[in-house]
């Protein structure tokens, strides 16, 4: 696809700022709010920030790695950018929606591209009841926390918590406990993308829990519901042979 208006955004890192200056000197730059495509210069954090910032426009994002972690990024190169963008392969992903109720009864909703995580907020382990599609599956999980990850986020926090890496085209989610104490042998579950997941915080006055959807944190929650928003399409662009699907597959064989 031919993109006429290209915008550039960059992280504050010196490497990213140098790349930004080089690309702006070579190519005409459009405003990100009016561009046909946005080139994000930095790491995965900048990619997620850019996707969130333009989530309502659903403009394609082409990332180039100028940071430390670049799982969602292409290799940096200033040459032939027009051609690279034209030949890039799109990957469409859908975010999760978190609806969290706190101790005051307030409801806060937020979108997550990587994961929704629940984390204990005190020295004591959390106690959480987990339901899927209205059926209680774990009556009481005693843990440091639990998370729901998309395929995009499955190689991030989810992987660090020993959760599975998910292929993008499998249309599934990972439900992964974080340092589970009871049930000791429960290692999580793989759920269909359309699953409706509910977390109820037990003994919340003594064992407070915070919920996080990417960048949005809600403190002292009592109830958290998570489900995918399939009507929201987010498009990432990747160089041929460097697709997100291939990197997720390769990551499963990494030592």
Is 139 in contact with 121 (CB distance < 8 Å)? no
Q: Where in the chain is the domain with CATH 3.40.50.10330?
A: 6-93+233-251
User: What pLDDT does residue 243 have?
Assistant: 66
User: What pLDDT does residue 33 have?
Assistant: 93
Q: Where in the chain is the domain with CATH 2.60.200.30?
A: 96-228
Is 63 in contact with 90 (CB distance < 8 Å)? no
Overall residue count recorded for the chain in this entry = 255
Catalytic residue numbers?
44
Is 167 in contact with 149 (CB distance < 8 Å)? no
Q: Which overall architecture, per CATH, does domain 96-228 show?
A: Sandwich (2.60)
pTM (2 d.p.): 0.87
Can you list the residues of the chain whose pLDDT is less than 50? none
The CATH class, in words, for 6-93+233-251 is alpha beta
Task: Report DSSP letters for the chain, one per residue.
Answer: ---S-EEEEE-SSHHHHHHHHHHHHHS----TTT-SEEEEEE-HHHHHHHHHHTTTTT--EEEEE-SS--TT-BPP--TTHHHHHHHPEEEEE--EEEEEEETTS-EEEEEESSEEEEEE-SSSPEEEEEEETTEEEEEEEEESEEEEE-TGGGGTHHHHTTPPP--GGG-EEEEEEES--BSTT---EEEETT--EEEEEETTTTS-EEEEETTEEE-SEEEEEEEE-TT--EEEEE-TT--HHHHHHHHTT--
Q: Which of 113, 117, 115, 123 is nearest to 224 (CA)?
A: 117
User: What pLDDT does residue 131 have?
Assistant: 98
User: What pLDDT does residue 168 have?
Assistant: 77
User: What pLDDT does residue 250 have?
Assistant: 73
Is 201 in contact with 221 (CB distance < 8 Å)? yes
């Amino acid at each position: 696809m031919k993109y006429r208006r290209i915008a550039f955004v960059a992280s504050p890192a010196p490497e990213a700022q140098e790349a930004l200056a080089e690309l702006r000197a070579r190519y005409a730059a459009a405003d990100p709010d009016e561009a046909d495509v946005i080139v994000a210069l930095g790491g995965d954090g900048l990619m997620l920030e850019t996707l969130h910032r333009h989530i309502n426009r659903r403009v394609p994002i082409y990332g180039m790695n100028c940071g430390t972690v670049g799982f969602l990024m292409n290799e940096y190169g200033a040459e032939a950018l027009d051609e690279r963008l034209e030949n890039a392969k799109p990957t469409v992903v859908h975010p999760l929606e978190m609806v969290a109720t706190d101790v005051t009864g307030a409801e806060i909703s937020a979108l997550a591209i990587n994961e929704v995580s629940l984390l204990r907020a005190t020295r004591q382990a959390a106690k959480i009841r987990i339901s899927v599609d209205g059926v209680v599956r774990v009556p009481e999980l005693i843990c440091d926390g639990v998370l729901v990850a998309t395929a995009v986020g499955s190689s991030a926090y989810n992987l660090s918590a020993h959760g599975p890496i998910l292929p993008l085209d499998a249309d599934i989610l990972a439900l992964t406990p974080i340092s589970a104490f009871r049930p000791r042998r429960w290692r999580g579950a793989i759920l269909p993308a359309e699953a409706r997941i509910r977390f109820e915080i037990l003994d919340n006055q003594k064992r407070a829990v915070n919920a996080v959807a990417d960048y949005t944190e809600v403190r002292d929650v009592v109830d958290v519901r998570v489900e995918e928003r399939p009507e929201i399409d987010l498009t990432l662009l990747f160089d041929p042979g460097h697709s997100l699907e291939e990197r997720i597959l390769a990551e499963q064989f990494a030592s």
